Amino acid sequence: MPKSSRNKKGKGKKNSVKGKKENLLFQSPRGMHDILPLEQPWWNKIREVSQEVSNFYNFSRIDTPILEPVEIFERGTGASTDIVEKQMFLLKSRGRDRLALRPEGTPGVMRAYVQHSLSRLGQPVKLYYFGPFFRHEQPQAGRYRQFYQVGFEILGGEDDPVYDAQTILAGYRLIEKLKIKNLTIKINSLGCKNCRSVYRKKLQDYYKKNSGKICKDCRRRASSNPLRLLDCKNENCQAIKNQAPVMLDYLCQQCRNHFRQVLEYLDDLGMPYNLDSYLVRGLDYYSRTVFEIFAENYNVSLGGGGRYDYLSEMLGARKTPLPAVGSSLGIERLIETMKAQGVNEPVRNRAKVFLIQIGKPAKKKALCLIESFRSAGIKIIESLGKDSLKSQLRLADKERVEIALILGQREVFEENIIIRDMKSGVQETVPLNKVVEEVKRRIK
Ligand code: HAM
């Protein structure tokens, strides 16, 4: 857990409304943000597009608990990965269960698949999720301690490369639909148990031979998790890394064919990709295809994923591999990229009508009147706490509505209401029982 729930000075103002700040004793935990109403149109847009893409490619929604047994991450994501070693938020329940705030979605989805025997359904099962995840990282742009992901997972059935291509495609199309441009996919194959162990040994031997020239972390990785050697960003290790053996040269025939077919699907779809032999993805459950999606000028990945045929075995659920592949995208990073690339703010479902009420009898009528607009499916806004015509008109103007309805004491008495065209300022009085119809006619 973070040592303190208070933000450092100046932090945590990401979404704040400009102007005078209130003094507050507590702030949201470091690296965790409120999503304020002004930000919501971006989030709604991504939720909407996620649903559209999932429906189109036949992914059904799954929601798993935010807390999961720690073991599924230790066994699946990997005990020696940064996520498990350094970034998990852990809790002990009163029943002494060891639980973790989920740092990622894939092990939980696999757990649910096994727990609920989804293998009895038509295979493969295609699932998608949208929700919060937690990693105790050093907060910076695009890296938060609570962040959201949308994920696509295909579990069961065949280990057909077409599914690898489809999970990449779903993520890629989702990003495209958000109007994010200049995307590239980095892709690699990590092979299967057999060919990877040959490669791992080669890599280990190579680094051991060069142990005098590499950093302390790499010396540790060389024995604990050799593939992570390729992740090292230390400048002194780059020369050694550049000469290191490459996984693609060690793929067995089946893995080589599998990877070739994934790339052929991407070629057929016209999706731009770069082979990246250093892409290892840092989660232990991957085998064969791994990939990440990037946008130009944004140096962290928008999404990533890969095949994880061994995960069900790693969770102790089966003795043979269960074909599975998936991808997930980070919502905050998508929004940051949309903004950086100048994508227009998604339009809110704006109300076109504002109800102004003046005086007690009018306020009394207002709620019922609003209900008749609700029944007619017309969105209407108001400020029931305000009394003066001037302040309510100002608000109506600010909300850029087309029509203001003015209900005063006299109108209530005469059972009328004033319709004001906000653009021209022209006003007309109509019978109260005809106002919904009249408004409907006027708004496009
Ligand atoms: P991941 O690469 O760890 O993969 O995360 C996927 C995406 O989540 C990243 O590309 C990024 O957009 C976002 N993300 C990750 N960490 C943070 C963070 N601290 N702050 C903001 N955004 C973040 C997985 O999580 C795998 N479960 C993906 C997968 C699905 N593999 C197979 N199926």
Q: Which pLDDT tens digits describe the chain residue by residue (444 residues)?
A: 333 334 444 444 455 666 666 777 799 999 999 999 999 999 999 999 999 999 999 999 999 999 999 999 999 999 988 899 999 999 988 888 899 999 999 999 999 999 999 999 999 999 999 999 999 999 999 999 999 999 999 999 999 999 999 999 999 999 999 999 999 999 999 999 999 999 999 999 999 999 888 998 898 888 888 888 998 888 989 999 999 999 999 999 999 999 999 999 999 999 999 999 999 998 999 999 999 999 998 889 999 999 999 999 999 988 899 999 999 999 999 999 999 999 999 987 889 999 999 999 999 999 999 999 999 999 999 999 999 999 999 999 999 999 999 999 999 999 999 999 999 999 999 999 999 999 999 997
Ligand 1, residue 308: give the atom nearest the CA. 32
Whether 380 contacts 353, CB under 8 Å: yes
Looking at residue 161, the DSSP 8-state letter turns out to be H
Token pair of 354, please? 């504002």
**Which pLDDT does position 11 carry in this prediction?**
45
Q: Which of 135, 328, 332, 335 to mutate to test the pocket of ligand 1 (most atoms within 8 A of CB)?
A: 328
Query: d(Cα 12, Cα 19) in Å, to the nearest integer?
Result: 15
In terms of Cβ atoms closer than 10 Å to its own Cβ (0-12, 13-18, 19+), residue 426 is exposed
The binding-site residues of ligand 1, defined as CB within 6 angstroms of any ligand atom, are 104-106, 135, 137, 142-144, 147, 149, 151, 153, 301-306, 308, 326-330, 332-333
Give the pairing type, strands 427-431 and 324-330: unpaired
Q: Whose CA is nearest to atom 25 of ligand 1?
A: 104
Query: In angstroms, what is the span from residue 195 Cα to ligand 1's centroid?
Result: 26
Nearest-5° Cα angle at 54, 101 to 320: 65
Query: In angstroms, what is the span from residue 291 Cα to ligand 1's centroid?
Result: 11
Token pair of 290, please? 């791994």
Query: In angstroms, what is the span from residue 433 Cα to ligand 1's centroid?
Result: 55
Query: d(Cα 99, Cα 92) in Å, to the nearest integer?
Result: 6
Q: Whose CA is nearest to atom 18 of ligand 1?
A: 143
Helices (H), 68-192: 70-72, 82-86, 106-115, 161-177
Q: Which long-range contacts (CB under 8 A, 24 or more apart) does 250-257 make?
A: 250/191, 250/195, 250/196, 250/198, 250/199, 250/202, 251/189, 251/191, 251/195, 252/191, 252/192, 252/194, 252/195, 254/192, 255/189, 255/191, 255/192, 255/195, 255/288
Q: Whose CA is nearest to atom 12 of ligand 1?
A: 330
Q: Whose CA is nearest to atom 14 of ligand 1?
A: 330
Nearest-5° Cα angle at 55, 53 to 60: 115
Query: d(Cα 39, Cα 286) in Å, to the nearest integer?
Result: 35
Helices (H), 148-229: 161-177, 193-209, 216-224
**Which pLDDT does position 437 carry in this prediction?**
96
Number of CB atoms found within 10 A of residue 227's CB: 20
Q: Whose CA is nearest to atom 11 of ligand 1?
A: 330
Residue 427, classed as helix, strand or coil, is strand
Report whether the peptide linkage leading into residue 161 is cis, meaning its omega lies within 30 degrees of zero: no
Q: Which of 14, 62, 149 to mutate to test the pocket of ligand 1 (most atoms within 8 A of CB)?
A: 149
Query: In angstroms, what is the span from residue 290 Cα to ligand 1's centroid?
Result: 13
Query: d(Cα 419, Cα 404) in Å, to the nearest integer?
Result: 6
Query: In angstroms, what is the span from residue 352 Cα to ligand 1's centroid?
Result: 40
**Which pLDDT does position 231 carry in this prediction?**
84
Q: Which of 87, 125, 147, 322 to mutate to test the pocket of ligand 1 (most atoms within 8 A of CB)?
A: 147
Q: Whose CA is nearest to atom 15 of ligand 1?
A: 330
- Looking up tokens 């994880």 gives 308
Q: Which of 104, 187, 228, 309 to mutate to test the pocket of ligand 1 (most atoms within 8 A of CB)?
A: 104
Query: In angstroms, what is the span from residue 300 Cα to ligand 1's centroid?
Result: 10
Token pair of 411, please? 């109108």
pTM of the entire structure? Answer: 0.90
**Which pLDDT does position 67 carry in this prediction?**
97
Query: d(Cα 59, Cα 103) in Å, to the nearest integer?
Result: 22
Handedness of CA 395, 401, 407, 411 (dihedral sign): positive
Query: d(Cα 90, Cα 379) in Å, to the nearest integer?
Result: 44
Ligand 1, residue 105: give the atom nearest the CA. 27
Query: In angstroms, what is the span from residue 171 Cα to ligand 1's centroid?
Result: 12
**Which pLDDT does position 19 carry in this prediction?**
64
Query: In angstroms, what is the span from residue 293 Cα to ligand 1's centroid?
Result: 11
Query: d(Cα 343, Cα 180) in Å, to the nearest integer?
Result: 7
Helices (H), 285-359: 311-314, 331-340
Query: In angstroms, what is the span from residue 295 Cα to ligand 1's centroid?
Result: 15
**Which pLDDT does position 319 carry in this prediction?**
86
Query: In angstroms, what is the span from residue 151 Cα to ligand 1's centroid?
Result: 9
Query: In angstroms, what is the span from residue 133 Cα to ligand 1's centroid?
Result: 9
Query: d(Cα 386, Cα 289) in Å, to the nearest integer?
Result: 60
**Which pLDDT does position 24 carry in this prediction?**
75
Ligand 1, residue 149: give the atom nearest the CA. 8
**Which pLDDT does position 17 carry in this prediction?**
62
